[in-house]
Amino acid sequence: MQPNDVNLTVDFLGLRLRNPLALTEGPLTGSADRIRRAAGHSIGIMFTKGIRPQPATSPNPFIAKTGRRSLMNADWSDIGFEQWLKDLEELRDRDFFLVASIAKNYVTPPVAADMAEEIAQCGPDAISLVDYDPDDLIRAVKLARPRVKLPLMVKLCPFMPRLEEVLKELVEAGIDGVAAMDSIGPVLAVDVETGLPSMGSEDGSGYLSGEAIKPVMVKYVYEISRFVDLPVVGVGGVSKAEDVVEVTMVGATVVGMVTAPLLHGLGVFDRVEKQLRKHLADRDVADINSLRGLTHRKVAEAGMRYDARAVIDPQKCENCGLCVRVCFKQAPLEEDGSTRIQIERCVGCGLCVSVCPQKAITLIC
Ligand SMILES: Cc1cc2nc3c(=O)[nH]c(=O)nc-3n(C[C@H](O)[C@H](O)[C@H](O)COP(=O)(O)O)c2cc1C
């Protein structure tokens, strides 16, 4: 199969997207001109920066790299509601999909519903409400739903309590989709030369995004898609084709990125789309939609195992010694120029499998 034969189109909120990639809320979608600039890339759908009633000035500095491929931010929308209405009007004539995202956490549910109704008149394809407080979010959806004909979705913050129950109420209130998740916070990082926090916010704290948060998001999407039969947007730490496949397998229809394009440029969307086509073509997967929810099915089939042990394929092993170094049971043994597992010592923890650069180790029952 050729990469160009792979179907990447996905159906989301009644729209057919060219691919599952989304540029979600952040500085790259912070105004009409920034959104138009991003539209030149291989992006299936965009989400505006969180729209709030008043513009806010972010204290400097408000974005910093922290750890590998991760960021901290304390970044607020520098344009307010009235300006956003003008920007959305300006974007009415467009050839890309756009969700208007409301930073619900800054307003009461009735104000959020008013904002949603007005924003809906300006021609976005859908509206999303973002909040930390589940009860407030449910109230806002209940008020907005009868007043907005467009698809209405919510974006959840990490570690939402009572997830199953909250999702049930949101579905009953009439949402059409769910995104997970916002950045994780508040978190703190300190410059050890100056002792100052890396963010200029009041207490120096900010919100964490990027590679560091990806496993939290993957678990979140997995859980959400167990509980609701609605399209899910997975966003958090995605930067490459394998990540998109992983997030699709746990149930996402759309996969978002913000930190990756901030760190590596908007061209990351073009690269990921290309890599994704090749990744799927190499594995004879003709349609990305066929992978959705695969992990749920596999988990149900696999059950739990307690008798697996590591085995090294001598054809692949290059005796790099990494498995010897990481094994806390000292099961791998380097002898006469080759490495083997002393099976009586192995407990099948799997660490050597995950670190082996040659993929020479497997767990076998
Ligand atoms: C600088 C920055 C600003 C952000 N602003 C918003 C925002 O206004 N509203 C929102 O819902 N999420 C916002 N986010 C969160 C992202 O949309 C996304 O959910 C989160 O960063 C995880 O994705 P990532 O790891 O690909 O960045 C922001 C993220 C960053 C890095």
Q: Tens digit of pLDDT for each residue in 11-44?
A: 999 999 999 999 999 999 999 999 999 999 999 9
Q: Give mean pLDDT, residues 285-301.
A: 97
Residue 67: the pLDDT is 87
Residue nearest to atom 19 of ligand 1 (CA): 182
Atom of ligand 1 nearest to the CA of 49: 8
Residue 138: the pLDDT is 98
CA distances from 125 to 14, 85, 101, 220 (A): 9, 14, 11, 25
Under the banding of pLDDT at 50, 70 and 90, the label for residue 68 is confident
Q: Give mean pLDDT, residues 217-231.
A: 98
What CATH class has 305-364?
Answer: alpha beta
Residue 277: the pLDDT is 98
pLDDT per residue over 347-357, tens digit each? 999 999 999 99
Residue 304: the pLDDT is 87
Is the Cβ–Cβ distance between 356 and 322 less than 8 Å? yes
Give the end-to-end CA distance of the chain in Å, rounded to a whole number: 34
CA distances from 70 to 14, 73, 112, 185, 243 (A): 33, 10, 31, 13, 15
Q: What is the chain's mean pLDDT, rounded?
A: 97
* Superfamily of domain 3-299 in the CATH hierarchy: Aldolase class I (3.20.20.70)
Percent of the chain, pLDDT > 90? 97
What is the C-alpha to C-alpha distance for residues 263 and 287, in angstroms, rounded to an integer? 29
What is the C-alpha to C-alpha distance for residues 129 and 140, in angstroms, rounded to an integer? 8
What is the C-alpha to C-alpha distance for residues 23 and 133, in angstroms, rounded to an integer? 24
Q: Give mean pLDDT, residues 33-62.
A: 96
| 258, 264, 266: residue to mutate for ligand 1 pocket, most atoms within 8 A of CB | 258
Residue 192: CB atoms within 10 Å: 7
Distance 182 CA to ligand 1 centre (A): 6
Under the banding of pLDDT at 50, 70 and 90, the label for residue 83 is very high
pLDDT per residue over 170-213, tens digit each? 999 999 999 999 999 999 999 999 999 999 999 999 999 999 99
**Pick from 132, 128, 178: nearest CA to 150:** 128
Residue 305: the pLDDT is 87
Q: Give mean pLDDT, residues 42-55.
A: 97
Residues having CB within 6 Å of any atom of ligand 1: 24-27, 49-50, 63, 71, 73, 75, 77, 101, 103, 130, 155, 182-183, 209-210, 213, 235-238, 257-260
Residue 157: the pLDDT is 94
Which residues, including other chains, have CB under 8 Å from residue 87's CB and lie 6 or more apart? 31, 32, 35, 79
Q: Give mean pLDDT, residues 43-65.
A: 96
What is the C-alpha to C-alpha distance for residues 169 and 344, in angstroms, rounded to an integer? 52
What is the C-alpha to C-alpha distance for residues 117 and 126, in angstroms, rounded to an integer? 11
What is the C-alpha to C-alpha distance for residues 240 and 217, in angstroms, rounded to an integer? 15
- What is the value of pTM for the model shown? 0.96
Q: Give mean pLDDT, residues 248-252.
A: 98
Percent of the chain, pLDDT > 70? 100
| 31, 104, 183, 201: residue to mutate for ligand 1 pocket, most atoms within 8 A of CB | 183
Please determine, for residue 303, whether its predicted confidence score (pLDDT) is greater than 90. no
Whether the link from the prior residue into 27 is cis, omega within 30° of 0, is no
Residue 269: the pLDDT is 98
For the chain, residues classed under CATH 3.30.70.20 are 305-364
Please determine, for residue 238, whether its predicted confidence score (pLDDT) is greater than 90. yes
